[in-house]
Amino acid sequence: MTAAVMKRHGENRGPDFYLGALTCAQSLWLQGLPAQAILQLDRALAADLSAEADILSVHPLPYAPMAWLLRHRRPDQFIGNPRRHFQHLATRLTGPRAEVRCWRAWACWWMSRIIDPTLPADEEQLAQESITEPTLTEIESSLNRFGHAGEVALWRRVISELRTK
């Protein structure tokens, strides 16, 4: 499976798109392509799902898979700098539901910082665009405001697990 398979969803970003992105991410991971798998998990996090969507009871928002992938990729597998990736994603999102998509990207950014605190930010972008990296409290507050009920608790469990490893 390649990312091209996602084209079949067209503009639909609902449950089928979400499951397709998760499935594609898993396939790309198994092919040894973790960077592409991360992009598909990004797409899953951007899906247009209500908190009550049946798919979420089977496949919750993929914070845990994202953290697992970031932590378990082999050193010889390219993933770039996840901290910069999520910083850029969070600061460049536009379009439908940009707020929730932005804060989910910042939530992944926070996880990437825990997983590898040596990863540098894009300091040039931060300075040129007068961006202040959000605090844990700001991310939680914004996910509570724009995300699903229970989303912060899901994300916090992943963070708690990361801190104990």
Full pLDDT tens readout for the chain, 165 residues: 666 676 676 777 889 999 999 999 999 999 999 999 999 999 999 999 999 999 999 999 999 999 999 999 888 998 999 999 999 999 999 998 999 999 999 999 999 999 999 999 999 999 999 999 999 999 999 999 999 999 999 999 999 999 986
pTM assigned to the model: 0.93
Neighbours of 139 (CB within 10 A): 23
Q: For residues 18 and 47, is the Cβ–Cβ distance under 8 A?
A: yes
Considering only CA atoms, which of 122, 92, 87, 131 is closest in space to residue 106?
A: 87
pLDDT for 38 equals 96
pLDDT for 55 equals 96
pLDDT for 82 equals 97
pLDDT for 139 equals 98
Neighbours of 90 (CB within 10 A): 21
pLDDT for 98 equals 95
pLDDT for 3 equals 61
- Read off the DSSP letter of residue 27: H
The domain segmentation of the chain, as residue ranges, is 3-164
pLDDT for 26 equals 95
Q: Which residues contact 8 (CB under 8 A, 6 or more apart)?
A: 20
